[in-house]
Amino acid sequence: MNDKQAVAMAAVQLVEADMIVGLGTGSTANYFIEALAARQQQGLRITTVASSHISMIKAQAMGLTVLSISQCPDVDLYVDGADEISPDHSLLKGRGYDLVMEKLLAKAAKQFVVVGDHSKWVPALGTHFPIPIEVMPFAWQAVKKSLQAIGGEGDLRPNVAKDGLCMTSHGSLVLDMRFPQITDHRALNALLNNTPGVVEHGIFTGLVTQVLIADQGVVTAHA
């Protein structure tokens, strides 16, 4: 069992009967969906809400009931991965680019548990990845200009085949930007929240209940 599987197995132990469980997106979240489906097969009654079409399709294929977030505003437990986790448990998310649903679930959930392997710890957000910023398609030039004015560097994210642009499930484009002059991610969070044309962005701060990290098979909880 690899570390992503180990941490997913630990997270699934937090699920209780009749919970509404938020499903994340990505390889670690996929292991969690598989572990949750296995618990359902053993008799656990649960309902889920997915953070992306891809997770919804996987969960449904495994026999889980997936509701729309409009049908279940009271999410009990949301389990998702992250690209980077800072010492104050702020997150950088969005390599899978379904940021709108991910942040809605993180905010709505009574408990938001982040799962990852040891590589996810960083001293500061933006260490390994640029900040993904979802923009309205007609506003991307204006948003890029606003972000350049505060020192942002970057451009639109290409699609996987690199012959076009990446588009989110909700029809937004994604700017991948670095901000070398802004070292405080809370300040950057506030600046991005305040930029017209930004639909959502990958900094998640003040939302996490617990971080579960696996390192060589040993899972540690950080509250």
Catalytic residue numbers?
102
SS (H, E, C) 125-170: CCCCCCEEEEECHHHHHHHHHHHHHCCCEEEECECCCCCCECECCC
Q: In this chain, which of 9, 11, 22, 26 binds ligand 5RP, going by CB under 6 A?
A: 26
Of 81, 126, 130, 152, the one binding ligand 5RP (CB under 6 A) is 81
Structure tokens at 214: 């696996």
98 touches ligand 5RP (CB under 6 A): yes
Alpha-carbon distance of 113 to 109, in angstroms, equals: 10
Min dist CB 24 to ligand 5RP, Å, is 5
Is the CB of 22 or the CB of 81 nearer to ligand 5RP? 81
80 contributes a contact to ligand 5RP by CB under 6 A: yes
Q: Which is nearer to ligand 5RP, 168 or 195 (CB)?
A: 168
Question: Shortest distance, CB of residue 117 to ligand 5RP, whole angstroms?
Answer: 8
Give CB contacts under 8 A, 24+ apart, made by 68-71.
69/101, 69/104, 69/105, 69/108
Question: Which of 58, 89, 93, 144 lies at the binding interface for ligand 5RP (CB under 6 A)?
Answer: 93
Q: Which of 22, 94, 152, 197 binds ligand 5RP (CB under 6 A)?
A: 94
Site for ligand 5RP in 131-150 (CB under 6 A): none
Among 6, 56, 79, 82, binds ligand 5RP (CB under 6 A): 82
Contacts of 19 (CB under 8 A, 6+ apart): 46, 47, 76, 77
**Which of these ranges, 10-18, 27-35, 60-68, 150-158, lies near ligand 5RP under the rule CB under 6 A?**
27-35
Burial class (CB in 10 A: 0-12, 13-18, 19+), 208: buried
To ligand 5RP, the closest distance from the beta carbon of 138 in angstroms equals: 24
- With contact defined as beta carbons under 8 Å apart, do 44 and 64 qualify? no
Per CB under 6 A, 22 contacts ligand 5RP: no
R_g of the chain, CA atoms, integer Å: 17
Q: Please report which residue ranges of 50-139 form alpha helices under DSSP H.
A: 53-61, 99-108
Residue with tokens 């802004």: 182
- Separation between Cα atoms, residue 55 and residue 65, nearest integer Å: 12
- Is residue 86 close enough to count as binding ligand 5RP by CB under 6 A? no
**Count of residues that bind ligand 5RP according to CB under 6 A:** 17
Summarize as ranges the residues that interact with ligand 5RP (CB under 6 A): 24-29, 80-83, 93-98, 102
